[in-house]
Amino acid sequence: MFIARSETAGEWKAIATAISTIVEEATFEATPQGINFRGMDPSHIALIDLNWPNSAFEKYECSQPIKIGLKIEDFVKLIKRASTNDKVELETKDESLLIKFVNSYKREYLLHLIEPYTSSTPLPKISLNSKTVLKTKSLENLLDDIQVVSETVNISAKKDQMTLEGQGDTGHAKIVLDKTNEDIISIDIKEESVATYSLPHLLDIISSLSSVSENVSVEFSTKMPIKLVFKIGAYGIDLCYYLAPRIE
């Protein structure tokens, strides 16, 4: 028995879209404590680790752990039909997921479940030396600026300053972030670091989540993966995203 009701559809829309940027089939694990998802994209470059506690739902019932396998694109397509003020209720039912939009209408979708996957993805064991917390929407805009000239972003950090750069046929783009900017919440650099990452990958995930995540924490180290932690909504949903560096 699994039932989860959210007050609005925003979180599900954003999170399912984010997951659909890395996999086609997603297995959610529901336990009495909440819903988790962990998965990597087929080329093992990007990883998402989601922790959605039961306290973030308006109603949550799950007597024992259950794996829910979904074609994530199909789920996104259905969930996007929810209106702004619809409550969303998910319920497993035989081989399907019942999706109810609870508002003045009684609208229901029954989505076929697929075989859940069984192997689990380990989290990378890394320690990262540079951490910047900033507005998610702002990070999206800054990376868009870099993307005008380049497909990759070079991130470097020293002292109280993080620099985003890109280089291409057209020219060069450079943005310096420090604490004087109101969109920067904090900058904490333990060690000078520099690394390069794929811009389309970063922008896919950030634009999926920027509507529901106010701030994002960005952690990286020289030639190590970048880790983005999105705080979603007001009730403790965490989505961690790891992306491997580009080796030139």
Q: Could you list the residues that contact its own copies (CB under 8 A)?
A: 71, 74, 77-78, 81, 96, 104-112, 142, 144-145, 148-149, 170-177, 181-183
E strands, 182-222, in order: 184-189, 193-198, 215-220
Element (DSSP H or E) covering residue 90: strand 87-93
Please identify, using beta-carbon distances, which residue of 173 and 243 lies nearer to its own copies.
173
The 152-158 sheet, strands edge to edge: 161-167, 152-158, 193-198
Please identify, using beta-carbon distances, which residue of 33 and 87 lies nearer to its own copies.
87
- Which letter, b or e, does each residue of 7-21 get, where b requires 16 or more Cβ atoms within 10 Å of its Cβ? bbbbbbbbbbbbbbb
Q: Provide, rounded to whole angstroms, the least separation between the CB of residue 144 and its own copies.
A: 7
Please identify, using beta-carbon distances, which residue of 121 and 138 lies nearer to its own copies.
138
Q: Provide, rounded to whole angstroms, the least separation between the CB of residue 177 and its own copies.
A: 7
Please identify, using beta-carbon distances, which residue of 171 and 200 lies nearer to its own copies.
171
Q: Provide, rounded to whole angstroms, the least separation between the CB of residue 112 and its own copies.
A: 5
51/73 Cα distance (integer angstroms): 20
**Would you state the structure tokens that stand for residue 54, as one six-digit string?**
């039961």
Residue with tokens 């988790």: 36
Please identify, using beta-carbon distances, which residue of 17 and 221 lies nearer to its own copies.
17
Q: Provide, rounded to whole angstroms, the least separation between the CB of residue 77 and its own copies.
A: 6
Residue of 6, 70, 13, 62 whose CA lies nearest to 34: 62
181/134 Cα distance (integer angstroms): 10
Residue of 187, 191, 161, 194 whose CA lies nearest to 176: 161
**Would you state the structure tokens that stand for residue 182, as one six-digit string?**
């109101």
Q: Provide, rounded to whole angstroms, the least separation between the CB of residue 164 and its own copies.
A: 9
Q: Provide, rounded to whole angstroms, the least separation between the CB of residue 81 and its own copies.
A: 5
Q: Provide, rounded to whole angstroms, the least separation between the CB of residue 100 and its own copies.
A: 10
Residue with tokens 């995203």: 241
Please identify, using beta-carbon distances, which residue of 5 and 77 lies nearer to its own copies.
77
6/127 Cα distance (integer angstroms): 34
Please identify, using beta-carbon distances, which residue of 175 and 194 lies nearer to its own copies.
175
